[in-house]
Structure 1
């Protein structure tokens, strides 16, 4: 499982770099999201976009409007931003998504950077052995 998650992570980062090289910074998050989805599908991955994430509250599923930008192969959450800089609240958002889904790996990606690699943050929650 660990190797599979790492392989998906590497592919997503590579795909994001390819999208960023083509488009550059300065666009809306939605443009990067659509292009990254296309790039990952083109590389043979299964991608769910704008996936609804209900919250379990006191045993009831409550739709609160949370949406995961991308979920790759059902295992890795990708949260995209196009902001001046990533903040702690963005990391908290990914951590919450990981907790609510029971997944272990999330990628927080800010496309509003000069070099894409500087906009990538891996977030791990109870990584499987």
Structure 2
């Protein structure tokens, strides 16, 4: 399955969660329910995935964790904030770079229009 195909399934799961729960809950609640939806779609899901930071060929265990990793290729960064800010996009771009992944999905569940709050973030994407 390509990153684009996975992305389509992720969006479907996000819509299901948003339509089922609505806005205004804690990020941790959305995470648990989204994991359920993704697995229900038959996707391989890992969450709170730890991985070390490598800097100058030195490995640092910094308790860094990815919110959700789907099919070992797409990172989902969850938010439940008033507005997505530029730093949220940069944050996910950094995660993609450090994890050597090409596609991330940034989603803010605290919104009146979920369609406007799902953003693709690409790092070295080749289709």
**TM-score between the two structures when normalised by the length of structure 2:** 0.96
The equivalent of 2:29 in structure 1 is: 31
The equivalences for 1:45-84 within 5 A come to 45-84=43-82
Instruction: Give the Cα separation in 2 of the matches to 1:125 and 1:58.
Output: 21
Q: Return 5+ residue gaps in structure 1 as ranges.
A: none
Instruction: Give the Cα separation in 2 of the matches to 1:20 and 1:30.
Output: 14
1:114 deviation in Å? Answer: 1.2
The equivalent of 1:117 in structure 2 is: 115
**TM-score between the two structures when normalised by the length of structure 1:** 0.95
**2:12 maps to which of 8, 11, 14:** 14
Q: Aligned Cα RMSD in Å?
A: 1.0
Paired positions, count: 127
Q: Return 5+ residue gaps in structure 2 as ranges.
A: none
